[in-house]
Structure 1
Amino acid sequence: MNGSRLFKIVYYMLEKGKTTAPELSDKFEVSIRTIYRDIDVISSAGVPIYATQGKNGGIFIDDDFTMDKSFFTETERAHILNALQGIIATDGKNSDELLTKLGAMFQIKSTSWIEVDFSDWVQNKPKQDIFNLIKNAIFVKKIILIKYFGSNGKITERRVQPLKLIFKSKNWYLYGFCLIQNDYRYFKLTRIKTLEILTETFSPTSIPPNIEKQIHIKKTIDTKLKFDKHVAFRVYDEFTDEVTEDEQGNLYVQVNLPDSDFLYSYIFSFSEHVEIVEPQFLREQIATKLKEMQEKYRT
């Protein structure tokens, strides 16, 4: 007995409504006698399936049947709805019609447990359109054309086969095959200035496992930082490394920071509340940059 075929028969009938044994026989490529045996097994499992004779007769499942009674546990139903709600939350629209339908079928009410807001706290400019365009391009397997602001400070035009959206370290990334570089690349969504879905399609490729672990900075600097207690909330919020505290309430963190301009902008975001303890060369570089900044404000 093919258990997979039994599920497919139930799903087919739920979608189509009334059908016939010859139709099911042709659909699933088995004999009519096998279809009737399958119907008996499905019925014995508790699914209210009926057969009527005559001109308008056929095989059908009771309209009041809900799948949860026979196929899913209460926990499984909740997981399905919660997972679906998590997907819809990134859509930025009130596209909850599918949730409503599944909730009615499962006879449970969906709980609003997640919301994804792409707007920036400062600029309040949503990146929702970029996210949705990429998501749609992934679904239909179409090449996208983007203008991308690279870490070298230049804007380049790229043709990309979009493969996967990744959320890592508070940022969204697109993983795809860059047709310009002829290699797989990560693109930070906030650096994508324009995006167009082209008519060209591409064949899907296998995505390496754990690709999100490949998002990394090639070179880092082992840094010891000292923070005063006024920014303790940020320290405990942003550092998963061990945080130590002295008698005055100052906080110390040993962390690897990327050897790039990001390091300086990140340090300066703490204003006067942070001090680089080690290494010495980084202290000197910060001191030099502070002098350069100070020169800009001399009148």
Structure 2
Amino acid sequence: MAENRLFQMVYLLLEKGSITAPQLANYFEVSVRTIYRDIDILSAAGIPVYTTPGKGGGISLQENFVLNKSLISEAEQEQILMALQGIRIVDVENTNGLLAKLSSVFQKKNVNWIEVDFSDWVKKEANESVFNTLKSAIFQNKKISFLYFSGKGESINRLVEPLKLVFKSKDWFLYGYCCLREKNRLFKLTRIKELELTSENFTRFVPPQIFEGVEKISEKTIPVTLAFDKEMSFRVYDEFSDGVTCNDDDSFLVKTHLPHNEGLFSYLFSFGDKVEVISPQSIRDELQIRLKKIQDKYIT
């Protein structure tokens, strides 16, 4: 208990700057004599704690003590605090407390200069239940079972060894070993339903970077040329960084590579009548077939 009190005392001094012995005694529910004994122990351990007598005085630490002793550079401290700002969306309660503590340790006052929110405008609240269950399963090395809705329109029960939570291309994914497919797979969190934590343990290697090296996950793409009306300028600049040509009438010609899967057509339809596929011809033909099916649904 004494060791824990000493640590908390150092943290309080870092946070408050200066605090009186009676205030510390009241906080820890010990005598003032015990507090002064603790101060002697801290001083003997090389921690520069000192007292200032008189009105307005108190117990303090030498200014910038932790920062000067820290092995973490100024840039690294800022990176840590920025990373904590980013993960608050999935663990607000715990992260806020940790952010406050590290801000005091690093002696950073302005830690609210950035706010990161991975959720979209429509679905503001993240699915904390799914996220936290997956996190627990990963930490405990427990297999999970769930009903998964794939991009092919299938709904299949899966038994998975969860390895890592991944944020990629505006969405959260679970990376794990699928016992059904007998290989590592990515599962989009929003498509995971009826999630359950099993009692089965597993042991499996977790790659440090799943999008690099041997474990790299690739997606087949095709070259596509698109013509956009000028009204789509905001999306063109939002979604394409290269291969963009602005025409004299403010329309756009975009040459890019897009995933060759079912999502390609959903993506193209999201532009409505403000885009035309110039090439390849196979995509133009498939779009005509799909448009005909849509049109048939509205013929009465």
Query: Bigger CA drift: 153-162 or 267-276?
Result: 153-162
* Gapped regions of structure 2 (runs ≥ 5): 10-40, 50-60
Any conservation in 2 of the 1:92–1:128 contact (CA below 8 Å)? no
Aligned residues: 251
What is the deviation of 1:207? 1.0
Which digits, 9 at most, give the CA deviation of each residue in 1:54-101, with x for residues without a partner? xxxxx5846647521212443333233223333334324464112222
In structure 2, the residue matched to 1:183 is 183
State the one-letter code of the partner of 2:180: I
- Alignment partners' CA distance in 1, 2:8 and 2:248: 72
The reply to whether residue 269 of structure 1 matches residue 270 of structure 2 is: yes
Identity %: 41
Any conservation in 1 of the 2:142–2:200 contact (CA below 8 Å)? yes
In structure 1, the residue matched to 2:29 is none
What is the deviation of 1:111? 1.2
Any conservation in 2 of the 1:223–1:256 contact (CA below 8 Å)? yes
In structure 1, the residue matched to 2:19 is none
- Alignment partners' CA distance in 2, 1:204 and 1:85: 31
- Alignment partners' CA distance in 1, 2:6 and 2:160: 39
Which digits, 9 at most, give the CA deviation of each residue in 1:10-49, with x for residues without a partner? x9997599xxxxxxxxxxxxxxxxxxxxxxxxxxxxxx96
Any conservation in 1 of the 2:158–2:180 contact (CA below 8 Å)? yes
What is the deviation of 1:177? 1.2
Q: Which residues in structure 2 correspond to 1:128-207 (within 5 Å)?
A: 128-207=128-207
What is the deviation of 1:103? 2.1
- Alignment partners' CA distance in 2, 1:228 and 1:116: 31
- Alignment partners' CA distance in 2, 1:197 and 1:126: 19
- Alignment partners' CA distance in 2, 1:206 and 1:169: 21
The Cα RMSD (Å) is 3.1
What is the deviation of 1:285? 1.8
What is the deviation of 1:162? 1.3
In structure 1, the residue matched to 2:223 is 222
Task: Please give the secondary structure, in 1, of the residue aligned with 2:242.
Answer: coil
Evaluate the alpha carbon distance shift between residue 15 and residue 179 of structure 1 in structure 2; reply closer, same or farther with a 3 A threshold: farther
Evaluate the alpha carbon distance shift between residue 182 and residue 208 of structure 1 in structure 2; reply closer, same or farther with a 3 A threshold: farther
Evaluate the alpha carbon distance shift between residue 169 and residue 152 of structure 1 in structure 2; reply closer, same or farther with a 3 A threshold: same
Evaluate the alpha carbon distance shift between residue 216 and residue 191 of structure 1 in structure 2; reply closer, same or farther with a 3 A threshold: farther
- Alignment partners' CA distance in 1, 2:206 and 2:123: 37
Evaluate the alpha carbon distance shift between residue 105 and residue 125 of structure 1 in structure 2; reply closer, same or farther with a 3 A threshold: closer
After TM superposition, the score normalised by the length of structure 2 is 0.72
In structure 2, the residue matched to 1:249 is 250
- Alignment partners' CA distance in 2, 1:156 and 1:86: 33
In structure 1, the residue matched to 2:238 is 237
Query: Bigger CA drift: 168-177 or 83-92?
Result: 83-92
Evaluate the alpha carbon distance shift between residue 96 and residue 159 of structure 1 in structure 2; reply closer, same or farther with a 3 A threshold: same
The reply to whether residue 293 of structure 1 matches residue 298 of structure 2 is: no
In structure 2, the residue matched to 1:69 is 68
Which digits, 9 at most, give the CA deviation of each residue in 1:169-228, with x for residues without a partner? 22222111112222211111221123222233323524164536833323x332111000
After TM superposition, the score normalised by the length of structure 1 is 0.72
Query: Bigger CA drift: 144-153 or 192-201?
Result: 192-201
In structure 2, the residue matched to 1:43 is none
Query: Bigger CA drift: 254-263 or 197-206?
Result: 197-206
- Alignment partners' CA distance in 1, 2:286 and 2:182: 37
Any conservation in 2 of the 1:68–1:77 contact (CA below 8 Å)? no
- Alignment partners' CA distance in 2, 1:267 and 1:256: 13
* Gapped regions of structure 1 (runs ≥ 5): 1-10, 18-47, 52-58
What is the deviation of 1:297? 0.6
Evaluate the alpha carbon distance shift between residue 277 and residue 73 of structure 1 in structure 2; reply closer, same or farther with a 3 A threshold: closer
Q: Which residues in structure 2 correspond to 1:24-103 (within 5 Å)?
A: 50-51=43-44, 61=47, 64=61, 66-71=65-70, 72-93=72-93, 95-103=95-103
Any conservation in 1 of the 2:90–2:126 contact (CA below 8 Å)? no
What is the deviation of 1:50? 4.1
- Alignment partners' CA distance in 2, 1:125 and 1:49: 45
Evaluate the alpha carbon distance shift between residue 125 and residue 290 of structure 1 in structure 2; reply closer, same or farther with a 3 A threshold: farther
What is the deviation of 1:267? 0.8
Evaluate the alpha carbon distance shift between residue 14 and residue 162 of structure 1 in structure 2; reply closer, same or farther with a 3 A threshold: farther
